[in-house]
Chain A
Amino acid sequence: MTEKTKSFPDRVWDFFCSLKLTIILLLLLALTSIIGTLIQQNAPAADYIREYGQANYELFVKLQFIDMYHSTWFIGILALFSINLICCSIKNFPRAWKFYRAPMLVPGEGILKGSANQAEYKSKDSKQQVAERLSGLLRKEIGKTTLSEKEGKLYLFAQKGIYSRFGAYITHVSILIVMAGAIVGNIWGFKAYVNIVEGSEVNQVLSRNGTLPIDLGFTVRCDDFDVSYYPNSNRPKDYNSDLVVLENGQEMVRKRIEVNDPLTYKGITFYQSSYGPAGSAFFKVRVTDNASGETLEVNARQGQHVQLPNGYSFAVTNFTENDRNFGPAMQMHVNTPDGKHGAPFVVWQNFPQFDVKRGGVFSFALLGADQPQFTGLQVAKDPGVNIVWLGCFLMVFGSLSAFFFSHKRIWVCLEDEGSKTRIRVAGNAHRNQSGFSLAFDELQQKIEASIKNESRKEG
């Protein structure tokens, strides 16, 4: 049948089945995907207008470049790609299935004579004897061997790696499974975040792409947050949060989470992602009146003035965990009774006698600082994720079996030729021909040895 005589539905079917369409779609996906790596995705409108101008921004919106991986046209290409994948599989799968369901037990003369890999022997033994011996050998070397008889001839058939014929289909199905998993996750899951101040609890989280809070259905409390640094550096080594899950006031789970070690409860997972100061810090400060030598201890809240004797006051304005490797330090100033703002100075926790040398009316020592922190958590629920992993596993399994294994078949035909038995062997593989040729040569030697040895023993 030529192209022109085909009906319209046939041509549509051929179009969706064609490998050319596959190649074009793959390259189209590759090309269009670049756009989203050059234009920042999901940024505020003002960013685009600043960088590209109003007119271009409006064009981007029209072309859905702002969120292109979820745009109608990109999803459209993916959908067409899926249809192509499904059609190709429907068209070609029956042939592979036939190899599995109805293996060619009796080869035609075309295979016995025309195969690239073939050999011929003679034996004095009967067909049955040779068949018995060779099927033992083939079973050992290749795999399951079937004996059949047709028109007075005996045939042996052995095969290996039939599954590699399905590798491509497994790979194709796996891609659809991954997509299905992604869709499930998008519909029934959510991506959210929440900040919890140490010691407090939440039962709602904020969606990452919307404004509506999501009810967790349980309560999460952060008992403690800690961050540790590498020695002599500001590079964080670890940060972790002690999380407790509560339901109806009952403690259900408790875990110290850190980056790369999340907590999962009822399908919702909490990932350590950031941290920061929550509200003002508190400082325990010892004040010494330099004239009288009297001391007092006060608690100061960052940014608030604390009264001192004789109308003076002071305020802590800043704090750091590590000031130039001298350890924790606070910045502060003292106000005179007439309200004059004194010059700021620094007090280090590790050097409590140091401030005496400044020579003011009062000297200060930092006894302790407490900066409440919040822990920043990413929160995700993704019921599709295991479907995605199943797809990924099948993808690796399928592509390996498609690339590195081949379906190898061996046929043996035994027929009487006078008092002798004529033995013909043929084999083929559906890929990696050169590798199969070598293996066939080896098999040939074993077959030859088996025929000769046995004949000698019995003869």
Chain B
Amino acid sequence: MDSGLLFNLTTVAYFASMVLFFAYIATKNKTVALVATLTAFAGFLIQTGALGLRWYESYQILGEDGRAPLTNLYESVVFFAWSILLIYLLIDWKYKQRTIGAFVMPIALFSMLWAQMSLHSTIDPLVPALQSNWLTYHVITCFLGYAGFAVAFGVSIMYLLKIGKEEKHKGDGPIGGILGMFPSTRILDDLNYKAIMIGFPLLTLGIITGAAWANYAWGTYWSWDPKETWSLIVWFIYAAFIHARFTRGWVGRRAAWLSVFGFAATLFCYLGVNLVLSGLHSYGSA
């Protein structure tokens, strides 16, 4: 058994979980929702095992140069999916809003599919610049932050779908159909904020650990390189979101859109900068 096989199993579990969440929204059957959540949790456990196994495999292949599986594009995308599941399961455990799974699992699933189908999964040794404990702290904090924003994005989409319908809805009774299954807009708005409250301090820590590392390796904690700048852009957007929550005229819809733009900027910071722009962050092999 190797980690690749386990990652494939993970992908299958996430796919099954997503389909089950869709089925839950269609059938309103609570058992289906529970099975969907348990499937997601099983996938998360398998992926945790797979990450551990890949870590172990790196020592078998590279000897003493083995390292945590957090270095190239493949590993980062896989870790992104894992982080999303971690944050999502925490929020599910605390707030028990099962429909959210239908909007968060697809993000994790697409990450896994992309990694498994078109990224190089070879375990290469690290260039000297990446041989630092800061790498681990930096990657973990950044990706948990990104994951918080991914969950917030899923919730914001639900909010925007629901609020549009609610405003058109004239009658006194609750909204029927699929949107009726969604949590109320008040709860969605609150969950959006809670997910960002998790993501924002983690992103802040991610930027700080990155700066500390850069200072330790090159003597500059900030050099306005595109990756750094984009992480700051993401930070600005979510800072605006947090203040929007306290400001009349900015709550609700505008805050949800800020969350959507924030996640778009997050994705560009994570992938766009590397695939479109150039800079220091090259994911080892890319």
Contacts and interface: CB of A to CB of B under 8 A. Distances in A.
B233 A23 contact: no
A271 B219 contact: yes
B12 interface: no
A89 to B, nearest CB: 13
B219 A27 contact: no
Interface stretch (A34-42, A157-165, A355-363, A450-458): A34-42
B125 A235 contact: yes
Given A37-B273, A230-B125, A237-B128, A23 B243 contact: yes
Interface string A374-395: 0000111010010011001001
B283 interface: no
A188 interface: no
B222 A182 contact: yes
A396 B208 contact: yes
Contacts of B239: 26
B247 interface: yes
B27 interface: no
A259 B229 CA distance: 24
A27 B236 contact: yes
Contacts of B224: 36, 41, 69
Contact of A399 (B134, B201, B211, B220): B201
B236 A33 contact: yes
B55 interface: no
Interface in A362-420: 378-380, 382, 385, 388-389, 392, 395-396, 399-400, 403-404
A382 B219 contact: yes
Given A20-B247, A30-B237, A395-B204, A389 B212 contact: yes
B22 interface: no
B90 to A, nearest CB: 13
B66 interface: no
B41 interface: no
B232 interface: yes
Given A260-B217, A378-B218, A385-B221, A37 B128 contact: no
B127 interface: yes
A408 B129 CA distance: 47
Given A230-B65, A258-B128, A260-B129, A271 B218 contact: yes
A389 B132 CA distance: 19
Contacts of A273: 218
B201 A37 contact: no
Contact of A191 (B127, B216, B220): B220
A239 interface: yes
B229 A37 contact: yes
A164 to B, nearest CB: 13
A273 B219 CA distance: 10
A252 interface: no
Interface in A205-250: 230, 233, 235-239
A37 B277 contact: yes
A330 B82 CA distance: 51
Nearest to A400: B201
A41 B243 CA distance: 31
B221 A29 contact: no
Nearest to A208: B220
A30 B243 CA distance: 15
Contacts of B127: 235-236
A87 to B, nearest CB: 14
Contacts of B250: 20, 23
For chain A, which range describes its interface: under 10, 10 to 19, 20 to 34, or 35 or more residues? Answer: 35 or more
A298 B127 CA distance: 38
Interface in B152-200: 197, 200
A259 B128 contact: yes
A288 interface: no
A149 B212 CA distance: 54
Nearest to B230: A37
Contacts of A36: 224, 229
Contacts of A233: 125
A85 to B, nearest CB: 11
B265 interface: yes
Interface string B53-68: 0000000000001000
Interface string B232-246: 110011011001101
B255 to A, nearest CB: 10
B215 interface: yes
B232 A33 contact: yes
A389 B209 CA distance: 10
Contact of A262 (B219, B240, B247, B265): B219
Contacts of A79: none
Contacts of B233: 30, 33-34
A237 B125 contact: yes
Given A23-B243, A37-B277, A404 B197 contact: yes
A317 interface: no
Nearest to A392: B208
Given A19-B243, A37-B277, A260 B216 contact: yes
Contacts of B65: 230, 237
A238 B128 contact: yes
Contacts of B128: 236-239, 258-260
Interface string B245-271: 011011000000000000001000000
Nearest to B239: A26
B212 to A, nearest CB: 7
Interface in B88-134: 124-125, 127-129, 131-132, 134
Interface in A20-56: 20, 22-23, 26-27, 29-30, 33-34, 36-38, 41
Nearest to B128: A259
A378 B201 contact: no
12 contacts: A20-B250, A22-B243, A23-B243, A26-B236, A30-B233, A30-B236, A37-B229, A37-B277, A191-B219, A230-B125, A259-B129, A378-B218
Given A269-B219, A389-B212, 10 more contacts: A20-B249, A22-B243, A23-B250, A33-B229, A37-B273, A239-B128, A262-B216, A379-B219, A399-B200, A403-B200
Interface of B: 65, 124-125, 127-129, 131-132, 134, 197, 200-201, 204-205, 208, 211-212, 215-222, 224, 226, 229-230, 232-233, 236-237, 239-240, 243-244, 246-247, 249-250, 265, 273, 277
Closest 3 CB pairs of A and B: A380-B219, A259-B128, A30-B236
